[in-house]
Amino acid sequence: MSTRTESFEALAARLTPACEALIAQYEEPRSALLPIMHLFQENEGFVSPEAMRFAASILGVSPAVVESTVSFYTLFYRRPVGKYVLQVCRGLSCTVSGAEEIMKYFREKLGIGHLQTSDDGLFSYEEVECLAACDKPTCMQVNLEFFYSLTSAMIDEMIAAMRAGTFAVAPMAQTQTPGKTWSVKQDGEVSMGRKSLGATDVPHPNNAGGLGDASGLIMLDRFVTNEIAMRGRSNERLVQDASSVADVLGDHEHAGH
């Protein structure tokens, strides 16, 4: 169910002057990509596909450039999130100071786990790497504002104030009802070491989804030269298809080697 009250077109029209002002601050328009995406996230509560397409067109770059940049940064949410994004540090300093207990308390109190959003759409909860405030463990960010030296009493107070609408930090905009998680499955698979299968019908190595640049070809050349069996070692489509690999290497005469 959408709670959007302003169409994307209206939002884009409203934000266009601010986007143009950001672009004017840089020598290269594409340098304004991150601030423009922050601006849309502030207004939409997340970075929607429409916002990414709009940014690509106003900056004169491809949608793939925008998507790959936005997906690199975990502080951009590509799915709707709760009004309060709670990010608890699980880094070393916080862990030795009791972060495990704090995280357990949050999970029990909110009834949700890592990367999950509560059913009422109020809270999104995440356990994150070092927040660079190691001298004040256990710390967290709420909508990017820091809170230090957490205790269960502080957490009780904090959550009660968020529920009552009296918390010191403003809630995020929420233009669409969030789902159970904002995490994008494909990213999780890549971070687990499972690579994308690649595009289909890509005969040339330098096309998007192809075998990649010269370094990829050199690596494949070594596989072939050393007679290492590639089949079964990778899920990648072109690696699975040994004849395509041989064709590509043949075309490029082993990338000049």
**Site residues for ligand FES per CB under 6 A:** 89, 91-94, 130-134, 137, 139
Q: Pick the closer one to ligand FES by CB: 98 or 212.
A: 98
Tell me the β-bridge partners of 125.
86, 116
At closest approach, how far in Å is the CB of 97 from ligand FES? 8
Rounded to whole angstroms, the Cα distance separating 107 from 111 reads 6
Q: Pick the closer one to ligand FES by CB: 30 or 114.
A: 114
At closest approach, how far in Å is the CB of 116 from ligand FES? 21
At closest approach, how far in Å is the CB of 92 from ligand FES? 5
Rounded to whole angstroms, the Cα distance separating 146 from 132 reads 10
Give the nearest residue (CB) to ligand FES. 91
Nearest to 81 by CA among 147, 189, 200, 176: 176
Q: Pick the closer one to ligand FES by CB: 134 or 230.
A: 134
At closest approach, how far in Å is the CB of 41 from ligand FES? 23
Question: Long-range pairs for 214-223 at CB < 8 Å and ≥24 separation?
Answer: 214/255, 214/256, 217/248, 217/249, 217/252, 217/254, 217/255, 218/255, 218/257, 220/245, 220/248, 220/249, 221/249, 221/254, 221/255, 221/257
At closest approach, how far in Å is the CB of 238 from ligand FES? 41
Q: Pick the closer one to ligand FES by CB: 87 or 116.
A: 87
- At position 4, the amino acid (one-letter code) is R
Task: Please give the structure tokens belonging to residue 21.
Answer: 């002002």
- At position 201, the amino acid (one-letter code) is D
Q: Pick the closer one to ligand FES by CB: 11 or 102.
A: 102
